[in-house]
Structure 1
Amino acid sequence: MSQISYKDAGVDIDAGNSFVDNIKPLVKSTKIPGVLGGIGSFAGAFELPKGFKEPVMLAATDGVGTKLKLAIDSGIHNSVGIDLVAMCVNDLLCNFATPSFFLDYYATGKLDVEVATNVVAGIAEGCKRAECALIGGETAEMPGMYSNDDYDLAGFAVGVAEKSEMDRVSLVRAGHKLIALPSSGLHSNGFSLARKVLFEKMSMKFEDDFNGKPLIETLLEPTKIYVKTFKRLRNEIVAMAHITGGGIVENLPRVLPKNLMAEVKKDSIKILPIFELMSKYIDQEEMFRAFNMGVGMILVVEDANVAKVLQETDGYLIGEIKEGKREVVLV
């Protein structure tokens, strides 16, 4: 009777081992103080940072959504890992947590070592931009669950905050100003709608010229990571809102008390060209609910600190906090 191997069933253990060897130097490149040991154990280890009076560990998890479909179809895999890190660490910042370490989960139908290595290279680059360590992850080869070329990503970030600094909502007051930090593009939200408009409605192609470069480059531009800005200006920031799915109108209220509203001047928003292109086919209200519109993070800042924040970032004023029901009003 012929014998059947795991490889016959679609899982290549040797490919998995080769992949681990490939990513060891990538993981090592993200090492920061606090990392204990290396990859290869059953769990990653990170020492709790010193200097906190009441340290609280915060965790955030996210994926990249259907932006992955563009990476897979275009064969460009080295930037979605940055997106994965960004979506997690930017959320941590909103609770005033400094990212410490990151874990990833990579699932595919058939492990392509080169593709997977490129993805993890992006994750490592994202960790370096976020000044956190990649301390572990999991790779799953699951034939029958995914087609051979497809893969999916999930990320998990852990950071540490001072307990007394976590509640930012209670610090927000009427009169505080809203400063927009520009996004680098779509970031990792709204791609199902973007793909439908650009490729189905407009019949555009990856290689079509858009603002002097192929359209696919604009679409795959990685999500901006705001960790260094946060570390530099945390004492001047009252609160932060990460503008992801739901846009400004659904994310900014998350940092507002019940009795305060955010008045945002639409004409002040520096809308990126890719959003202007799609707005020809999408209602404006839907645009503001699906996309970041060029704003990746919004800072709530006291009047006295506005000048410094504007001077030390590429941010700009888009509105202020006023008395009213907890919502965003676009004027």
Structure 2
Amino acid sequence: MVSPSRDAASPTGSTPVNPYSEAGVDTAAGDLAVELMKSAVRRTHGPEVLGGVGGFAGLFDASALRSYARPLLATSTDGVGTKVAIAQAIDKHDTIGLDLVGMVVDDIVVVGATPLFMTDYIACGKVVPERIADIVAGIARGCAETGTALVGGETAEHPGLLGINDYDVAGAATGVVEADRILGADRVRTGDVVIALASSGLHSNGYSLVRHIVAGAGIQYGDNAADFGTTWGEALLEPTRLYTSPLLRLISGIPDHVHALSHVTGGGIAANLARVLPQQAWVEVDRSTWSPPPVFRVLAEMGELDLLSTEGTWNLGIGFVAVISADRVDAAISALAQDGIAAWQVGVVRDGERPDGLFEQGAKGVDGGAVRLVGTYNTGGAN
């Protein structure tokens, strides 16, 4: 969020000349953007947030952490990637903020942490107040849905570096978890069951491939997409599902039985699940247990790809995975269904000698377990 600023008065009493504006930076537009976003941001504030909107730093009262025996802070930062190019192409900016919250805050819940607060950063070629307000309103909606206070941010105008309609978004969030309640590989046991949580679509990964396929097919984002009943741009902007609140309820509802969580983002299902497994563990994820949603199948066919070749790029219908005690699987699936999230069993944690074949072994610097996808997708046809 742009911090309000005012130009200095001219010492001669004549109309002030603002050299910054002549260089392409409109501080007045920044002030207006702040005014337009204030109400949305304030709706994410509880009594823990001090100082309101527009300060140099956001303030959050951490007194509640004194009730923890050993509070550990969890932090995450991310962006939305090239999905913003589609928002820019169809001039629709009110959902990209939900994607940002999904990419940032949902990483925190992976360790079992409850989010506390978030900040955002928007870089643009030109501040269009209504556009910035739409973006921040989406961020605020996501923060409200996940119980996260949006305590501050920045909008930076970069004329000459970005086009006047170009922007990028990023954010960072902080949460807290009791030290002895951290989820992860050390809790996972042989025989635990892996359940998949359905995605809402592409979420915010693999859009460089999406855009390449769409461009190669000669499609404009404003064109009608008969398979989806919307324009292509609207279909591809389907917001990232937010999992934080349902997963926190799941953790508290079956305490000690949710052992690990994984957010399926860049790298796909196998690589991200492998990151939260112990080194000796392995899982075979059964493709036949679900049908990838139409958006994946339509794009793959358009790009003359089989679904297997996209497994390291797209989530293919699984946005999160949870490793659960075998005797609590039905309870977990039922609880998630009550929160509107379809979930199903896709595999079981094993150890010892693995079957022949190629497994994903850890990922992103984590020397974790091994995972591979097996079987055939339930698509009613060949993959």
TM-score, normalised with respect to structure 1: 0.95
SS in structure 1 of the partner of residue 292 of structure 2: coil
SS in structure 1 of the partner of residue 298 of structure 2: helix
Deviates more, 1:283-292 or 1:234-243: 283-292
CA–CA distance in 2 between the matches of 1:110 and 1:320?
51
1:283-324: per-residue Cα shift (whole Å, max 9, x none)? 433311000000000010111111111111121111111114
Q: 2:37·2:133 contact (CA, 8 Å) conserved in 1?
A: yes
Does the alignment pair 1:273 with 2:290?
A: no
CA–CA distance in 2 between the matches of 1:62 and 1:205?
25
Does the alignment pair 1:26 with 2:40?
A: yes
Classify 1:179/1:167 alpha carbon distance in 2 versus 1 (closer, same or farther; 3 Å): closer
Query: Which of 127, 137, 152 is the equivalent residue of 1:136?
Result: 152
2:318 aligns to what?
295
SS in structure 1 of the partner of residue 312 of structure 2: helix
1:71 aligns to what?
87
Does the alignment pair 1:253 with 2:274?
A: yes
Q: 2:125·2:157 contact (CA, 8 Å) conserved in 1?
A: yes
AA matched with 1:156: A
1:247-303: per-residue Cα shift (whole Å, max 9, x none)? 102101010101001110011133110111122222433311000000000010111
How far off its partner does 1:197 sit?
1.1
Query: Which of 210, 225, 233 is the equivalent residue of 2:250?
Result: 233
Higher Cα Rg, which structure: 2
AA matched with 1:278: L
Query: Which of 24, 29, 33 is the equivalent residue of 1:10?
Result: 24
Classify 1:17/1:204 alpha carbon distance in 2 versus 1 (closer, same or farther; 3 Å): closer
How far off its partner does 1:210 sit?
2.5
Does the alignment pair 1:330 with 2:358?
A: no
CA–CA distance in 1 between the matches of 2:286 and 2:292?
12
1:37 aligns to what?
51
Q: 1:60·1:157 contact (CA, 8 Å) conserved in 2?
A: yes
1:315 aligns to what?
343
1:43-72: per-residue Cα shift (whole Å, max 9, x none)? 101122333110011110000000000000
SS in structure 1 of the partner of residue 20 of structure 2: coil
CA–CA distance in 2 between the matches of 1:179 and 1:206?
37
CA–CA distance in 2 between the matches of 1:244 and 1:303?
25
AA matched with 2:372: V
SS in structure 1 of the partner of residue 87 of structure 2: helix
Extract unaligned runs of 5+ from structure 2. Answer: 1-15, 337-341, 355-360, 362-368, 375-383
Query: Which of 117, 121, 146 is the equivalent residue of 2:137?
Result: 121
CA–CA distance in 2 between the matches of 1:287 and 1:32?
42
SS in structure 2 of the partner of residue 264 of structure 1: strand
CA–CA distance in 2 between the matches of 1:232 and 1:258?
29
How far off its partner does 1:3 sit?
5.9
Give me the identity figure in percent. 39
Q: 1:32·1:132 contact (CA, 8 Å) conserved in 2?
A: no
1:53 aligns to what?
69
Classify 1:41/1:172 alpha carbon distance in 2 versus 1 (closer, same or farther; 3 Å): same
TM-score, normalised with respect to structure 2: 0.83
Deviates more, 1:195-204 or 1:13-22: 195-204
SS in structure 1 of the partner of residue 203 of structure 2: coil
CA–CA distance in 1 between the matches of 2:156 and 2:218?
36
CA–CA distance in 2 between the matches of 1:267 and 1:167?
28
How far off its partner does 1:177 sit?
0.7
Does the alignment pair 1:210 with 2:233?
A: no
AA matched with 2:122: Y
CA–CA distance in 2 between the matches of 1:188 and 1:119?
15
How far off its partner does 1:142 sit?
1.1
Extract unaligned runs of 5+ from structure 1. Answer: none
2:201 aligns to what?
185
1:242 aligns to what?
263
Q: 1:185·1:272 contact (CA, 8 Å) conserved in 2?
A: yes
SS in structure 2 of the partner of residue 251 of structure 1: helix
How far off its partner does 1:34 sit?
2.0
